[in-house]
A = this chain, B = another copy of it.
């Protein structure tokens, strides 16, 4: 068990935080709005704490659970406070109409985080193909991940496994762009073929 720092106070922050607390981790919630962060920390229970926005985090894994517009600005603001950390980017960078990616061609939210992060930090894409509402149910869903630093990816995979979820590696950080596209396909499914956001993408092996 370890300490996990989560930057964000939305539904992904709450869902991952709750799973972490339930499975014995210590969680630190970090929000620009300290009152909101304290409220989320209270709702998670356990020994969940809050920390100053922009300061060095307690956890070796720092989950950035923010909307796309805030991810790079916040990572830039934290700057050297993220040195040595495993940064997990969970966001789906979609356009306002959710029918395209908002990232420039040839990059991804996770790659932009890697470019903005200080030396010694590693970035792993994870959790963007799992909806918060589904994670919140505690079902053993598949969590697709990507990253260039094998050590960091192994650390994140161990954390995911500790939540009773199944980590599945898709390759290097270049795959983050395609994972973000897969997140958009899930939103398309929710809007068209499925009709709700209460589903998971599962890797199944036929008989």
CB pair A207–B137 under 8 Å, yes or no, is yes
Chain B residues with CB under 8 Å of A168's CB are: 189, 193-194
28 cross-chain CB contacts under 8 A:
A100-B174, A134-B206, A137-B206, A137-B207, A139-B206, A144-B185, A168-B189, A169-B193, A170-B185, A170-B189, A170-B192, A170-B193, A171-B188, A175-B184, A175-B185, A175-B188, A178-B188, A179-B185, A182-B185, A189-B203, A193-B203, A194-B203, A199-B203, A199-B204, A200-B204, A201-B201, A201-B204, A202-B203
In the bound complex, CA of A178 to CA of B184 (Å) = 7
Closest to A180 in B: B181
Give the contacts of A106-146 with B (CB-CB under 8 A): 106, 134, 137, 139, 141, 144-146
Chain B residues with CB under 8 Å of A181's CB are: 177-178, 181-182, 185
Q: Which of B101, B171, B191, B192 contacts A192 (CB 8 A)?
A: B171
Chain B residues with CB under 8 Å of A99's CB are: 171-172, 174-175
Given A170-B189, A177-B181, 17 additional A-B pairs, CB 8 A: A134-B206, A144-B193, A145-B193, A167-B193, A168-B194, A178-B182, A178-B185, A178-B188, A179-B185, A194-B203, A199-B204, A199-B205, A201-B202, A201-B204, A202-B202, A202-B203, A202-B204
